[in-house]
Chains A and B, each alone.
Chain A
Amino acid sequence: EVQLVESGGGLVQPGGSLRLSCAASGFTFSGFAMNWIRQAPGKGLEWVSSISGSAAYTYYADLVKGRFTISRDNSRNTVYLQMNSLRPEDTAVYYCARGLEEAATNPQGSWGQGTLVTVSS
């Protein structure tokens, strides 16, 4: 069974940094793309970033480009999202999601339960 467990969320001040982690199990981690998608309170889904299984390809939403960095450690079955220069509008539940295949452009077939990031002074 595919399991994705996010961690690292919390309260951070504007301009601060946070690193999210997503521990995966139940599948061959390096064979699948991984994604981060967020959802602000009461709002819709917003795709944030994706990384291919080999980590050769990464993609970012315009709103986070230059501030967020996605990475993965295939030996630890973990994907990360380093978030810098955080803004109040980055406040959201951040979901980790696995792609259907290795390519980073694949849709997200399995999701974690999310971790809440709150950016506020």
Chain B
Amino acid sequence: SYVVTQPPSVSVAPGQTARITCGANKIGSRSVHWYHQKPGQAPVLVVYDDRARPSGIPERFSGSNSGNTATLIITRVEAGDEADYYCQVWDTTGDQYVFGTGTKVTVL
């Protein structure tokens, strides 16, 4: 099965830039989607197809994807960005979605 890994945690000061990585074999050849989930709430899609933003998501959220690593980039981090972040990839071999292991973002 396709294995997708994320760092368990990322810490960032308010106003700075957070980078959350998602690693997998040749992930750059696939579309990556990103979700955040705040405690007690349902997940929210924040970036899809590597870098596109759904309506209502601030421009501070962007993404990149190349080689074996995809990255979610959050600029001008705010306290409200504190959440768990998950990447997601469609595994074309197994015809199924795979979520990354999740990254807890802490705003210092």
User: In this assembly, does A44 line the interface, its C-beta being within 8 Å of a C-beta of chain B?
Assistant: yes
Q: How far is the CB of B96 from chain A (nearest CB, A)?
A: 5
The residue from B37, B54, B95, B96 contacting A45, defined by CB atoms under 8 A apart: B37
**B contact residues, total (Cβ < 8 Å):** 24
- Contact of B96 with A59 in the complex, beta carbons under 8 Å: yes
Q: Sort chain A's interface into a size bin.
A: 20 to 34
- Contact of B86 with A44 in the complex, beta carbons under 8 Å: yes
Across-interface contacts of A50 in B (CB, < 8 A): 97
A-B contacts counted at CB < 8 A amount to 54
Q: How far is the CB of A57 from chain B (nearest CB, A)?
A: 9
By Cβ-Cβ distance, the 5 closest A-B pairs, closest first, are A47-B97, A107-B33, A111-B42, A44-B102, A107-B48
A-B contact pairs, 23 of them (CB 8 A): A44-B86, A44-B100, A45-B35, A45-B37, A45-B86, A45-B99, A45-B102, A46-B99, A47-B96, A47-B97, A47-B99, A59-B95, A59-B97, A62-B1, A95-B43, A105-B90, A107-B45, A108-B35, A108-B45, A109-B45, A109-B54, A111-B42, A111-B44
Which residue numbers of A lie inside 8 Å of B, CB to CB?
37, 44-47, 50, 59-62, 95, 100, 105, 107-109, 111-114
